[in-house]
Structure 1
Amino acid sequence: MHLRFPLEHLSSPAIALFRRSNPPKSLLSPFPCCSPSRIPNPDTLLTTSASRAPSLVRLLLHSPCRNFSSLSGSQMPQRKRGKLLSVDPDGNAVDFGEMTRLIREDASGLEAQLHQKNLMISPSFVIGVLCVLNKEGIPALRFFNWVLNYCPSFVPSAKIYNQLVNNLGIVNDYETMINLLTKLSSSGFCLTEKAFAFLPPTGSDDLASSVARIVDVLNGVGSCRGSGIFSLIRYLCSINAFDLAISVMEKTSRKTRYYNALIAAKCKNGDFQGARDVLDEMPQSNCDPDMNSFNYILGCLLKYNKVNEACGLLEVMERLGFTPDELTYELLAFHACKANRIDSAIQFLDRMFVEGLRPLFKTHAAFIKGYFSLGREADACKYVVDMSVRDKYSVNVNYSRLSSLFCNSKRVLEAGRVLFEMMEKGFRPNHSIYIRVVKMLLVAGRVDMASQLRNMFGKFKLQKNSH
């Protein structure tokens, strides 16, 4: 199966997508910023019938959004960076330098000294210490065993075990690593890329031998082998050691998800040709591509404005009998929104509903943020109200996101009205956004509105407690 993609334009005529109709009254937004006089053109309403739905290629090629250029950083809200504190998320005031010194010294009284610190053991605390020990190359097994003895009720998470495997690799203790992985297999734990961060960097003479040794270890530890081989391949791809990743596949097995890891990494690097070569190689190794294979490449093409190649890829998908999934549509809609062509992007959303697919939360976010970036807040409000009817699973997230965007724009009254309508309809907002809006209302002197929102939110707490 040869999957080369045509580069020339397709020449199919554009098909009329939407019936002209007046927006139903039930869908008109009650928000003050969404009065009927500001409702968008009815051509953009989601009312297409299945019989008139055009192909994805036509939608992509004949859409006015031919140049998928990103929004500038100044147009998007920026997240402030927090300070690096010596307090873990659970409130432990931890002097990691002192902890590291004690563990490095490996004195006979280490356990007694740790006991005297009267520490509160938590996952975040243990992970924090392990990360510091891994960075310093200090053995962590003794500290880990002390944690289990000091707090017998503590149950390590998979994240903690992966950091411990990484530490055993750093200190070259493969015997203990084998015992630990065998135990993890019996308990159903899975390995991630974090477990293999100890491997030498790309280009090191020791990398190939270290990878071969890890493969031998994984082959003898039970069920951890599956997640371990996959995560090892993903890790090697993340450091651009693609030849070694392929050698791991040759020594173990060739699977579609292994090839997908190669495709995803090459796409992340912007290496479309390399990703396409991997896709061509898959059938020769008796591994058929799946929708993830195509979605990775489609996302790469759209990211780098290769619209013609994206059309070719969509044709290949259709010819091979692959049906676009939610992620396919999310990619198409997202990049159209980034090009400020939301009225064209909404046609992809319409196709999803026609085909019975539910949009991802990220798809809704792209539309809501896109409207805001264009100064079309009224359309953003109407979109959220429309989706509350068509996609009830997204109501809480969409309303909360809309309120948050109004907050970012310093329009706290609109943010409060969004939460008011949301709760009036029986939907509970995101707690952090609710708190933020209430605080901003109090600062703005709107105590009455803040109190009203508090009363409404309190009813959700009562309902939760009653259950």
Structure 2
Amino acid sequence: MGITSLSRNLRDFSHPYFYSIYSFAPHSPFPSSSPSKHFGRFIRFYTAPTSDSAARSPLLCNSTSQSVPSLCLFERCNGVTKDLNLGLFRPHYRSCRRSFSSDSFEKPQFGTGELNVFKPNVTSNQFWDIINIIRANQEDLESKLDSLNVSFTNALVAQIFRVLNNHKVSAFRFFNWVRVQSCKFPCNSDIYSLLIDNFGRLDDYEGILPVLNEFRQKGVGLNHKAFEFLHVHLSDEDSIKICVERLVKLLNEVGGSCRISGVMALIEMFCSLGSFGMAKFVIEITERRTSFYNIIVREQCRRNDFEGARCTLDEMRQAGCSPDVGILNYLLSSLCKNDKLSEAQNLFEEMLERDCPPNSLTFEVIICHLCEIGNIESALNFLDMMVSRGLEPRLSTHAAFVKSYFNSQRYEEAYRYTIDSSLKHGMAQNATYSLLATLHEKRGNLVDAQKVLCELIDAGLRPNFPVYMRVLKKLQVQGREDLANDLKGKFSNVSMQRDIQTG
């Protein structure tokens, strides 16, 4: 995989599960302070120091396990680190009127936030004409919409739904009309969910059932937007529980993927509001699934409610739902990211002791955090432990080491790690060499960058093309034609050999 696409993919991981601080993005920052400043504030993980720099970190080796090195995630001492086609419609749609003012809706003033984006295919006046036509609910509603000659994109339809839902105006006829106008529209889960929300705001639970049945037949899933009408009931626990029970009854009657997505959407919606008690109530009256509990744990981690997350995990186990390695990795990375290092230590040791062994990502979370604070020696020990358990390091794990060495100005060690990892893990060779060349190029070490790329080519591998081009052009600009021609010739030869092999 190319170094550029890897950088983009790794940077795009938004949640702490992918806590790969030292990804293949060559510009990922290393803490600006000297690494030595961090050693005094942390206690090393588990092995004896192998260098003078490592000796500055005292050890805690109190693990009772004899099968693995003693694991002691460092303790924090007053410091902060930098940061993982509906057909079954009810025939009485014209009876769906509600008592509204006879006046047209007023257009919101600029900056109110009610409507802040109009797509190029519709003007503000056209938008509010559409709203008023739907609100009037007259016999010629469909023909009036036709006469507007507007292309109804998903974004536009969603915005119309939001306004209609906020004002408790039935969107049923509009939905039935617009689904015929656009072949792309039926694929949009947001629109379907907004339709359910529309029924809910009108307290029309009877209208929800046939729509859900059609969704199930079409394989449509719901999301949290379907149940935003429940927000108004949050202050009344009895009322909201009654509403939830009615919805769950409908979802159970429909069944299939629509039921599962609907239940998950309910849980997600309550979690987004911080109403974890109601989220657990949904689980109690439906079924106890690991995937349902995971939604709660993730949101608690996002809110840094780690005590709540641990309690939820305990509840899962008591309910017979064993947490999987994925959600434990999420919690582990959240703890590391928020300096809850003692709790992270306990969690990692629990994973070793319980029937949920760590995977490659578990070790990467720890390795990346150690590399971030400059504790590379301990990170290497975790790498050894990882490999001894038969786990293959991910490319981003290798990147963490290369960038940590490089950014701490240990250039020779970065080079040696690149060679060593390439010998032990052949799949990483192209990516790690290309990364090292990029780091040298960014620092202005074009001679070293050219050397690294040439070594990669001599091994029969074609380096990442954008990296090659940047180094080549900069060499030419600086007048190093000898190095540029040498690199260009080698690259042409390896490209020709690849073409022959693939041709």
Q: Which TM-score applies when normalising by structure 1? A: 0.64
Select the residue among 267, 277, 281 that pairs with 1:247: 281
Aligned mates of 2:317, 2:431 — CA distance in 1: 41
1:60 maps to 72
Deviation at 1:415, TM superposition (A): 6.0
Matches within 5 A, 1:90-101: 97=124, 100-101=127-128
* 1:71–1:281 distance in 2 versus 1, CA, 3 Å: closer
* 1:161–1:15 distance in 2 versus 1, CA, 3 Å: closer
User: Which structure: larger Rg?
Assistant: 2
Aligned mates of 2:233, 2:459 — CA distance in 1: 55
1:225 counterpart = 2:225: no
Aligned mates of 2:440, 2:224 — CA distance in 1: 38
Contact 1:403/1:419 (<8 A) preserved: yes
Select the residue among 362, 378, 397 that pairs with 1:328: 362
Aligned mates of 1:144, 1:426 — CA distance in 2: 59
1:165 counterpart = 2:193: yes
Deviation at 1:312, TM superposition (A): 3.2
Partner secondary structure for residue 288 of structure 1? coil
Aligned mates of 1:463, 1:351 — CA distance in 2: 41
Deviation at 1:309, TM superposition (A): 3.4
Deviation at 1:311, TM superposition (A): 3.3
Matches within 5 A, 1:203-352: 203-205=234-236, 208=241, 211-223=244-256, 224-352=258-386
Matches within 5 A, 1:143-154: 149=180, 152=183, 154=184
2:23 maps to none
Aligned mates of 1:204, 1:383 — CA distance in 2: 58
2:216 maps to 185
1:129 maps to 156
2:90 maps to none
* 1:269–1:87 distance in 2 versus 1, CA, 3 Å: closer
In structure 2, give the amino acid aligned to 1:265: E
Aligned mates of 1:194, 1:405 — CA distance in 2: 44
* 1:114–1:214 distance in 2 versus 1, CA, 3 Å: farther
Q: Could you give the per-residue CA deviations for residues 397-419 of structure 1, whole angstroms, max 9, x where no partner exists?
A: 54555555556556677667666
Aligned mates of 1:230, 1:342 — CA distance in 2: 41
Contact 1:337/1:366 (<8 A) preserved: yes
Q: Could you give the per-residue CA deviations for residues 295-344 of structure 1, whole angstroms, max 9, x where no partner exists?
A: 34433433343433333334433443432222321222122122221221
* Residue identity (%): 32
Partner secondary structure for residue 298 of structure 1? helix
Gaps of 5+ in 2: 1-42, 54-64, 84-115, 134-140
In structure 1, give the amino acid aligned to 2:304: G
2:131 maps to 104
Q: Could you give the per-residue CA deviations for residues 115-146 of structure 1, whole angstroms, max 9, x where no partner exists?
A: 6x6x9xxxxxx454355445545787778777
Partner secondary structure for residue 236 of structure 1? helix
**More displaced stretch, 450-459 vs 184-193:** 450-459
Contact 1:396/1:427 (<8 A) preserved: yes
In structure 2, give the amino acid aligned to 1:110: L
Deviation at 1:54, TM superposition (A): 7.4
* 1:151–1:322 distance in 2 versus 1, CA, 3 Å: closer
Aligned mates of 1:140, 1:445 — CA distance in 2: 68
1:4 maps to none
Partner secondary structure for residue 72 of structure 2? helix
Partner secondary structure for residue 374 of structure 2? coil
Aligned mates of 1:142, 1:445 — CA distance in 2: 70
Matches within 5 A, 1:340-419: 340-395=374-429, 397-399=431-433, 401-402=435-436, 405=439, 409=443
* 1:168–1:430 distance in 2 versus 1, CA, 3 Å: farther
* 1:317–1:179 distance in 2 versus 1, CA, 3 Å: same
1:45 maps to none
In structure 2, give the amino acid aligned to 1:182: N
Aligned mates of 1:54, 1:316 — CA distance in 2: 15
In structure 2, give the amino acid aligned to 1:162: D
In structure 2, give the amino acid aligned to 1:266: Q
Contact 1:400/1:433 (<8 A) preserved: yes
Aligned mates of 2:155, 2:494 — CA distance in 1: 35
In structure 1, give the amino acid aligned to 2:250: V
- Figure out how many residues of one structure are paired with residues of the other and give that number: 397
Deviation at 1:429, TM superposition (A): 6.1
* 1:462–1:254 distance in 2 versus 1, CA, 3 Å: same
Contact 1:190/1:227 (<8 A) preserved: yes
Aligned mates of 1:101, 1:211 — CA distance in 2: 33
Aligned mates of 2:178, 2:479 — CA distance in 1: 50
Contact 2:457/2:491 (<8 A) preserved: no
Contact 2:193/2:223 (<8 A) preserved: no
Gaps of 5+ in 1: 1-10, 21-39, 42-52, 74-85, 120-125
* 1:201–1:272 distance in 2 versus 1, CA, 3 Å: farther
1:200 counterpart = 2:228: no
Q: Which TM-score applies when normalising by structure 2? A: 0.60
**More displaced stretch, 346-355 vs 234-243:** 234-243
